[in-house]
Amino acid sequence: MSIQRYHVGPRLSEIVVHNNTVYLAGQVAEATLADGAKAQTEEILGMIDRLLGEVGSDKTKILTAQIWLADIADYDAMNEAWSAWVPQGHTPARATVESRLATPEYKVEIKIVAAL
């Protein structure tokens, strides 16, 4: 029963793989902090694609998604980006909640669990 960790830092690993399951740390925007929730979501989803691809998975294998919004008023903007990205017929179980995020610039944070 091996555990593989990728991009290991002092507080978290970006990716953990165990028993053919991929766990991603919560992803937040880096380049679009000054932009709105839709742009931040698009950036985050691109990051998720890259991270899943790094370990041999992809968005069609996502099992669950947890989404935190700093302001629930951004729900429609986030969903616009999400709906354009998630493949039809491969929608994961998902929860979206409003929460104070680590810094005021973050409008969206997304955490993914996927199969390999």
Per-residue model confidence as pLDDT tens for the chain (116 residues):
799 999 999 999 999 999 999 999 999 999 998 899 999 999 999 999 999 999 999 999 999 999 999 999 999 999 999 999 999 999 999 999 999 999 999 999 999 999 99
CB 37 within 8 A of CB 73: no
How many CA atoms does the CB half-sphere of 115 hold within 13 Å?
5
pLDDT value of residue 1: 74
Q: Please give the model's pTM, rounded to 2 decimal places.
A: 0.96
